[in-house]
Amino acid sequence: MAQTDVKAARPLSPHLTVWRPTITYVMSIVHRITGGALYFGMLLLAWWLVAIASGPEAFGTVDRFLGSWFGMLILFGFTWALLHHLLGGIRHLIWDTGAGFSRAGRNGLAWATIIGSVLLTILVWIVGFVAR
């Protein structure tokens, strides 16, 4: 059998061009992205902690950056990534129990993760501003 005949007889492997995106597919990708974002967010937390230990000048620099509109935007995104990743982990924990594998269950948990993470992020920020 010639090389081209073997290639033509092979089935196509599932790929992005073959699958159409579903909510659980997108949530899997977003869960990985938020995990990476949390890594960089922890660097900000470490910078803040080192600045506290270093004295008022270092803390003032970090406080000015994180208090700016850009810093607040980063902190808002970090809060959302943290809560989204947390709820995604709870979704996986539910699956580990054997529940939520029906189509409606999978989609419901995925939408609950999205909606819950947005609402919890807004709630955390409202509580934070009220507590100030």
pLDDT in tens, 3-54: 566 666 666 666 767 778 899 999 999 999 999 999 999 999 999 999 999 9
Provide the token pair at 64.
């000015």
> Residue 36: inside a domain, yes or no?
yes
Q: Is 92 annotated as a binding residue?
A: no
> Residue 2: inside a domain, yes or no?
no
CATH number at residue 57: 1.20.1300.10
> Residue 14: inside a domain, yes or no?
no
CB-based contact 113:27 (threshold 8 Å): yes
pLDDT at 56 over 80: yes
Residue among 92, 93, 96, 90 at smallest CA distance from 116:
90
> Residue 49: inside a domain, yes or no?
yes
> Residue 48: inside a domain, yes or no?
yes
Query: Into how many domains does the chain fold?
Result: 1
Q: What range defines the domain where residue 108 resides?
A: 22-131
Q: Distance (Å, rounded) from C-alpha 68 to C-alpha 44?
A: 14
Q: Residue 16's pLDDT is what?
A: 64
Q: Distance (Å, rounded) from C-alpha 72 to C-alpha 50?
A: 19
pLDDT digits (tens, 9 = 90+) for 79-121: 999 999 999 999 999 999 999 999 999 999 999 999 999 999 9
Number of Cβ within a 10 Å radius of residue 62: 18
